[in-house]
Amino acid sequence: MRRIVKSRLFWPVAALILLILINTIARPQFVRITFQDGRLYGALIDILRNSAPLMLVSLGMTIVIATRGIDLSVGAVMAVSGAVALTIIDGSADPNSLGTVIVALVAAILVSLVLGMWNGLLVAVLGIQPIIATLVLMLAGRGVALLITGGFITTVNSSPFEFIASGYTLLLPFAFFISIAAIAAVGLAERRTALGVLTEAVGINPEASRLAGVRSRSIIWTAYAASGVLSGIAGVIYASNIRAADANAAGQFIELYAILAVVLGGTSLMGGKFSVAGTVVGVFIIQTLNSTILFLGVPSAQSPVFFAVVVVIVVVIQSPHLHRLTRSLIRSIRTNQTPEANGTTTNGESAGEESTSDVEVTV
C-alpha cells in the first residue's frame, strides 16, 4: 500500500520540488520568509494563502471525478455564494458585527449545498451526463448571482468578513487554515469512513458495485453535494479577498484549473482511485507555476497558454495509446522482431485483456 502511494505521489511531488528549486535559483527571495508584527510574509506564504479557493474547489472536484463524473459549475457556485454572503452583509444593520457575518456565511454555504445537491439529483437520479448536468448550472448560476446582487458588484466594509481572506492566525494566513481544515475534513471523511473505498468502487466498476450492494446513488449525490459546499466556501474566500461580489469574475475558469490539479495529482479522469494528497500537491504546483509566470513578467491574462501546454503534456503522457506505442516500440527495439511476431505482441498487449474475458465469456 505504501508502495503505491509512494509511486503515485512521487512524480507530482518531484515536479513541485523542481518548480520551487527553479524559482529559488531564479529569484532567491522566493524562499525568504520575514517575520513582522506577529505574522509571516513571503512568496511562499502568498502561495499558501492564495491557493485556498482553488484548494477547496479541487478537493470537491477530486471526489466528483472519482465517481466518473465532473463538476463544471464550481465557478458559478462560487459566484452565487459570494453574492448571497455579501447581499446579507450589505443589507444588514451592522456589517461589522461578527454575528451578521456568521449568518451570511451560513446562508451562503447552505445555498451552495442546495446547488450541489441539485447537481447530484440530475446526475444520480435522472441519469444525465455529468458534463451536461453541471453545464446547466454553469450557465445559469452566474445569472442567478447577478440577480441576487441586483446586477451590481456589491461591495462591503466589514472587518470580520475581510478577515477571512486577509487575516492572520498563529503567524499564518487564516485562509490557509481553512484549506487545512478542508483537506482534513475531506481526507478523514474519505479514509476514516467507508466513503472513500465505496466511491472508488463506484468509479472503477459501477456494475460490480451495484451487484455487491453499494448504494451508488447516495455516493454520487454526496460527491456533488460536497463539491457544492466546498465551492461555496471558496466563493466566500474569494469575495472576502476582493471585498465584493463580482458575479462574472468570481471563479472564472477555476473549474479548468481544478480539473488540472486533480489530474496532476494522479487521479484519473476515468474515475476510480483518487488521491487527496495528490490533489493538494497538484494545487500547489499550479499556484507555484502561476507565481513563476507572474514573476517572469508575463501578464496574468496570458498565463492560460502555459497551462494549456501543461494540460496537453499531462494528457498525452497519460494516454493509453501512447503507452501502447512506447511499449511496442521498446519491444521491437529490444528483440528485433519480424512482422509476424509483431502481430503477436500487439495481440498480447491490446487483446490480452479482451481475450481472457473472451475465453471466459463470449461465444
**What whole-number distance in Å separates Cα of residue 246 and Cα of residue 78?**
10
Q: Which of residues 37-76 bind another protein (CB under 8 A)?
A: 70
348 binds another protein (CB under 8 A): yes
Residue 23 or 216 with smaller CB distance to another protein: 216
**Contacting another protein within 306-325 (CB under 8 A):** 306-309, 311-312, 315-316, 319-322
Between residues 34 and 129, which has the closer beta carbon with respect to another protein? 129
Residue 158 or 291 with smaller CB distance to another protein: 291
* Site stretch for another protein (CB under 8 A), options 14-22, 34-42, 139-147, 177-185: 139-147
Residue 286 binds another protein, judged by CB under 8 A: no
Closest-CA residue to 51 (of 282, 275, 263, 310): 282
Closest CB 153 distance from another protein, rounded Å: 13
Label residues 11-43 b or e (16+ Cβ within 10 Å = b). ebbebbeebbeebeeeeeebeeeeeeeeebeeb
Nearest approach, Cβ of residue 247 and another protein (Å)? 7
Non-local CB neighbours of 357 within 8 Å, separated by 6+ positions: none
Q: Which is nearer to another protein, 157 or 248 (CB)?
A: 248
Residue 35 CB, shortest distance to another protein, in Å, is 37
Residue the block writes with cell 512482422: 339
- Considering the complex, state which of residue 211 and residue 333 has its C-beta at the smaller distance from another protein: 211
| Candidate list 125, 305, 329, 330; residue touching another protein; CB under 8 A | 305
Q: Binding of another protein at residue 269 (CB under 8 A)? A: yes
- Check residue 278 for interaction with another protein (CB under 8 A): no
Is 252 a binding residue for another protein by CB under 8 A? The answer is yes
Closest distance of CB 23 from another protein, Å: 21
Our finding on whether 194 is near another protein (CB under 8 A) is yes
Count of residues of this chain found to bind another protein when the rule CB under 8 A is applied: 86
CB 79 within 8 A of CB 142: yes
Distance from C-alpha of 221 to C-alpha of 119, rounded to nearest angstrom: 8
**DSSP secondary structure string for all residues of 29-51:** GGG--EEETTEEESHHHHHHHHT
Q: Which is nearer to another protein, 147 or 171 (CB)?
A: 147
- Contact between 34 and 42 under an 8 Å Cβ cutoff? The reply is yes
Under 8 Å between Cβ of 63 and 182: no
Distance of CA 216 to the CA centre of its chain: 22
